Amino acid sequence: MANASPPGIAILGAGIFVKTQYIPRLAEISDLVNLKAIWSRSEESAKGAVEVARKHFPGVECKWGDEGLNEIIQDSSILGVAVVIAGQTQVEMSLKMLKVGKHVLQGDFMIHVFFVAAIGEIETAMTSYKNISTDSPCRPIWAVAENYRFEPAFVELKKLVEEIGDMMNVQLIIEGSMNSSNPYFSSSWRRNLDGGFILDMGVHYIAGLRMLVGCEVTSVSATTSHVDKTLPAPDNITSNFQLENGCSGVFVMVVSSRSPKAFVGLKGTVQLERGVQDGRHGYMATVYGEGGTSRTIFYPFSGVTEELKAFFNDISGASKEQEPRLSYVEGARDVAVLEAMLESGARNGAVIPVKKF
């Protein structure tokens, strides 16, 4: 049975994404959650985020430094935390919270840390979590956020893909818009990341790809290049990939382009393109059927809201089983595909098997 009052949570992190996405999205579902605290390493950052949050959550407290983090750990009314800090420290922080019994919703940056730490440390982190779960009387949930499995465009596109017959081929072409006008362009930790923006941005689309095709990627062969010197290397990747079902496909990503879009081709064609309708950003999905017929549907961005709802339903007991799309295992499988692609690119297109989890 669900709790009478919404679960209390804290946000660990106070950066751009917290202020522009997490706080507004939490405000949309304030009946499901009680935001009790925002923490950052520095007092200044924490106060900046709390100032934004208090417009929607007047009682939210400001925490910073080791003392503030310990206060969150000791607060039994805080059931879960959203870990939205720099990628290089996310897994360490998540495991720390899980060990004290807090449920964790971790940004997709977990996957970036997994890549930096290498596959062996992914397995170590997953084993640590399993041991925590075994020792704890109430299994804490480790969920992965921001992974496109909750974006309405991808959820609905999976249904559209089923309409166009047996899968023959898949093409995923991403033309990103990472330039000086993007707020994340100067992000130092992303620029210091092995794999750069290819990893930071591409992992979203790998999550969407795996959901759409309904099976795992088994091997890849890729080439990479570095063209735009204002971006970290590599900034372009082209990869062939093989699926479990025998189908093959192509993954192409350009980090900075003028017209961001993604294209998925199967038997018949489904095209997914970034767009704006009535001032709302989202995706335009166009289905081209037999006989030259086509239809286009617009889906606004709302995946972050949907995954937050799912997480709070999980930790409040409203759901009988954990939402599988939030599973930390899915995050590991996403990054394993990109890790194999980048390794192949570094080895001049050698065929690399994708690690299984």
What confidence tens digit (pLDDT) does each residue in 229-284 have?
888 889 999 999 999 999 999 999 988 865 444 443 334 577 788 888 998 888 88
Cβ–Cβ under 8 Å, residues 174 and 281: no
When pLDDT is averaged across residues 321-325 and rounded to a whole number, the result is: 85
* Window from 9-13, 125-129, 327-331 with minimum mean pLDDT: 125-129
Angle of helix 303-316 versus helix 152-163 axis, rounded to 10: 100
The yes-or-no verdict on residue 2 having pLDDT over 50 is no
- β-bridge mates for residue 271, sequence order: 263, 286
pTM, 2 dp: 0.78
* Amino acid 59: pLDDT: 95
* Amino acid 319: pLDDT: 67
How far is Cα 278 from Cα 285, in angstroms, rounded to an integer? 16
| DSSP-assigned letters across all residues of 170-237 | EEEEEE-B-STTSTTTT-HHHHTSTTHHHHHHHHHHHHHHHHHH-S-EEEEEEEEE---TTSPSP-EE
Of residues 124 and 140, more confidently modeled: 140
When pLDDT is averaged across residues 24-36 and rounded to a whole number, the result is: 94
* Amino acid 339: pLDDT: 87
* Amino acid 281: pLDDT: 87
* Amino acid 198: pLDDT: 85
> Binning pLDDT at 50, 70 and 90, where does residue 136 land?
low
Q: Give the neighbor-by-neighbor strand order of the sheet with 61-64.
A: 61-64, 34-40, 8-12, 78-83, 103-106, 142-144
When pLDDT is averaged across residues 201-212 and rounded to a whole number, the result is: 89
76-100 CB burial, b ≥16 within 10 A, e <16: eebbbbbbbbbbebbbebbbbbbbe
* Amino acid 276: pLDDT: 87
* Amino acid 18: pLDDT: 94
Cβ–Cβ under 8 Å, residues 12 and 94: no
Most confident of 113-127, 155-169, 219-233, 282-296: 219-233
